[in-house]
Structure 1
Amino acid sequence: MDKYQHSQKDKLFKTDKTDPYLEAHRPGGSAQCPECGAKYHAGQWSWHADASHVSVENFVCPACRRVADRAAAGQVRLAGGFLQKHREELVHLVRNTEAREKAEHALERLIDVAEDGDELLVTTTGLHLANRIGHDLEAAYDGDTSYRYSDSEFYLSVDWHRD
């Protein structure tokens, strides 16, 4: 591949857009969130980072800031007759999906699960959790699902419907 083709390919797959909640305020070194206990080390937030050998500052993680600001990165809207008959079961699936995703990815959490008329609106701190909830709904209950990313690439809206 020549140099020109390679540089064009890089432009297609790399974006200079950055999520303001991830990039705006990064700890200088190692940190721990005083709200949830997540740890920041080597550029990553996790539950298991070993920063015992370095000084650690208190720093509120991006997920806790999103929850406090109610600034969702993703939403899942559930609708249809199936929701009305199986609401508790569907909420249980959403909460179990969050528990699995959150255990591995410290910044993927639910902000809210709320009634919105005849629909259920789930808001999340991360795109991946919204995406995973949509896929888990499809896998468990079929239905029609659509995924729409915003132009900024930092917001995902998932609609799930089953009659």
Structure 2
Amino acid sequence: MDKYQHSQKNKLFKHAAHDPYCLPKVEGSAICPQCDAVYQAGNWTWNHPENTLVPNAQSVTCPACRRIADNAAAGTLTVSGSFWPQHRGEIVHLFEHIEKREKAEHALERIIHLTDTADELTVTTTGVHLANCLGHALEAAYKGQAHYHYDDNQCSVTIRWAREQ
């Protein structure tokens, strides 16, 4: 087998990325006892059928609640530069607004913590999607420079955004 064939074989048999917080498929329905998210047909949602409890539903903690309990972020956004302290309130309000919008559509997308120091603001999220939305919203609203770095298995993202005056 030549070098080209070997590289193609490696691509062909590459294992799928595995997120340790994604549950194996639950048989039937489930409800998270902490946040009341419902698992049906392979998805976590907020939609309870007819606002009642799902019959025969298992009690399973959703991946977002597990990440929050373990403080294991899937997304980390760090905001730095001389611009952000002067606009802290606006930036935090933007983050809260985006989280509310994304959480309404995607039950597993939530902010874990907002932590600020004198030099930077760090936001941790339960999902990669929300972290990306926050980073893109900062770029759209305040310009600045954002750098996105995904880990090898694409289960987490680190975003650094900075703007000087």
> Same fold by TM (over 0.5)?
yes
**Using a 3 Å threshold, how does the CA distance of structure 1 residues 27 and 116 change in structure 2: closer, same or farther?**
farther
Partner of 1:107: 108
Q: Deviations over 1:47-101 (max 9, x none)?
A: 1153967411111100000000000000000001110110111111111111111
C-alpha distance in 2, partners of 1:85/1:53? 47
- Residue 19 of structure 1 and its aligned partner are, at CA, apart by 0.9
The size of the alignment, in residue pairs, is 152
Instruction: State the secondary structure of the residue aligned to 1:108.
Output: coil
Q: What is the 5 A alignment of 1:83-162?
A: 83-162=84-163
Q: Which has the larger radius of gyration?
A: 2
> Is this contact kept in 1: 2:125–2:131, CA < 8 A?
yes
> Is this contact kept in 2: 1:32–1:56, CA < 8 A?
yes
**Using a 3 Å threshold, how does the CA distance of structure 1 residues 87 and 52 change in structure 2: closer, same or farther?**
closer
Instruction: State the secondary structure of the residue aligned to 2:21.
Output: helix
C-alpha distance in 2, partners of 1:56/1:156? 33
Partner of 2:18: 18
C-alpha distance in 2, partners of 1:82/1:95? 19
**Using a 3 Å threshold, how does the CA distance of structure 1 residues 16 and 112 change in structure 2: closer, same or farther?**
same
TM value normalised by structure 1: 0.86
Partner of 1:4: none
TM value normalised by structure 2: 0.85
C-alpha distance in 1, partners of 2:73/2:102? 16
Q: What is the 5 A alignment of 1:33-44?
A: 33-44=32-43
| Unmatched tracts of structure 1, length 5 or more | 1-7
Partner of 2:63: 62
Please tell me the residue identity of whatever aligns with 1:157: T
Instruction: State the secondary structure of the residue aligned to 1:22.
Output: coil
Instruction: State the secondary structure of the residue aligned to 2:66.
Output: helix
Instruction: State the secondary structure of the residue aligned to 2:83.
Output: helix
Bigger CA drift: 49-58 or 117-126?
Answer: 49-58
C-alpha distance in 2, partners of 1:22/1:98? 20
